[in-house]
Amino acid sequence: NAGVTQTPKFQVLKTGQSMTLQCAQDMNHNSMYWYRQDPGMGLRLIYYSASEGTTDKGEVPNGYNVSRLNKREFSLRLESAAPSQTSVYFCASSDAVSSYNSPLHFGNGTRLTVT
């Protein structure tokens, strides 16, 4: 059971470079999310997609864009990386549209460093 798969696992960027973080889920979930995790801050929502074809900003969207490519895939793009975007990024999925108490299923994270 693959669940939620994120790539890459690690990435180092220079300031100003761009990159896309990939996420795919095989659980037929409607909703997908991108979070960043910083020490002492918990997980903060960057963007989410309640269902295929929709995306919305979360708590900390500045500097990021997303694409819900299809029901399975939800990518996160950094157009011009900044040191403040150094973080661990988690993708998650759930069946929230069908049931708001559906739990999140997480990928293993991407550890990004911007120098």
Partner 1 sequence: AQSVTQLDSHVSVSEGTPVLLRCNYSSSYSPSLFWYVQHPNKGLQLLLKYTSAATLVKGINGFEAEFKKSETSFHLTKPSAHMSDAAEYFCVVVSGGSYIPTFGRGTSLIVHP
**Contact (CB, 8 A) for 45 and 58:** yes
41 binds partner 1 (CB under 8 A): yes
CB atoms within 10 A of CB 11: 17
**Contact (CB, 8 A) for 6 and 91:** yes
| 89 DSSP β-pair partners | 36, 110
Q: Rule CB under 8 A: which of 16-35 touch partner 1?
A: 31, 33, 35
108 binds partner 1 (CB under 8 A): yes
**Contact (CB, 8 A) for 55 and 48:** yes
CB of 98 to partner 1, least distance (A): 10
Over the window 49 to 68, marking each residue x when it contacts partner 1 by CB under 8 A and - when it does not, the resulting string is -x-------x----------
Which chain residues interact with partner 1 by CB under 8 A?
4, 31, 33, 35, 40-45, 48, 50, 58, 90, 92, 94, 96-97, 100-101, 103-109
